Homo-oligomer: A and B are copies of this chain.
Amino acid sequence: MPTLDFWYEFASTYSYPAAMRVARMAEAAGVTVRWRPFLLGPIFGAQGWNDSPFNIYPAKGRYMWRDLERICEAENLTLRLPPARFPQNGLKAARIALVGESQGWMAEFTRAVYTANFAERRDIADDATLADILCRLDIDTEATIAAANTPENKERLKKQTDEAIARGIFGAPSFTVGDELFWGNDRLEEAIAWVKR
């Protein structure tokens, strides 16, 4: 099956609706999704930002929250505002998600973290939140957190972020199809169509 790479950051607001619909839409189109968590922090930092652009530029931030409300309403997704914090620190969740790739629960864990953040107003950097999510998914919490914290797994997330930068990614969610880049939840349809060209 042809493949769509889905690049997401757990702190990213527009990655929430994208993460909740990408599997369903890709499956309907006969396209395989490769889930690729990465970190926006180093990318924003290189642009001189030490906070979310939605906080740095208030008009853009106000618009984003309203736009996200409209999108979630249209998608029947629960959105409870404001979140526990914004932006959240998605580092731990991203490391855990990578552990799930070979074990088959990466997509499900990813959706559960976005739900915790945007529908349940929980702090996704909190170890208790992450342990609770793993437990509810019947995943071995202790072994998984240990695997997430190995030097090899930490390095893997760094390399994935380096690859995102090399691919020209500057925001999340992004989709890549070969060398073609699509940025934003609202480009998902176009990215899937590109896979099928």
Q: Quick one: closest B residue to A56, CB to CB?
A: B47
- The segment out of A22-30, A58-66, A129-137 that lies at the interface is A58-66
- Given contact pairs A47-B57, A57-B47, A57-B170, A181 touches B63 in the complex (Cβ within 8 A): yes
Contact B67 A183 (CB under 8 A): yes
Contact B190 A62 (CB under 8 A): no
CA separation between A64 and B190, bound complex, in Å?
15
A70: B residues at CB distance < 8 A: 190
Interface residues on A, range: 10 to 19
- Given contact pairs A70-B190, A186-B186, A190-B70, A170 touches B63 in the complex (Cβ within 8 A): yes
A182: B residues at CB distance < 8 A: 67
Copy count, this protein chain: 2
- Given contact pairs A183-B67, A186-B186, A168 touches B57 in the complex (Cβ within 8 A): no
CA separation between A70 and B194, bound complex, in Å?
11
Contact B66 A170 (CB under 8 A): no
- Given contact pairs A67-B183, A181-B66, A183-B67, A168 touches B59 in the complex (Cβ within 8 A): yes
Q: Quick one: closest B residue to A46, CB to CB?
A: B59
Contact A63 B186 (CB under 8 A): no
Binding site for B on A (CB under 8 A): 47, 57, 59-60, 62-63, 66-67, 70, 168-171, 181-183, 186-187, 190
A-B pairs with lowest CB-CB distance, top 4: A59-B170, A60-B170, A186-B186, A59-B168
Known: A60-B171, A62-B168, A186-B186. 15 other contacts (CB 8 A): A47-B57, A57-B170, A59-B168, A59-B169, A59-B170, A60-B170, A63-B168, A63-B170, A63-B181, A63-B183, A66-B181, A67-B182, A67-B183, A70-B190, A186-B187
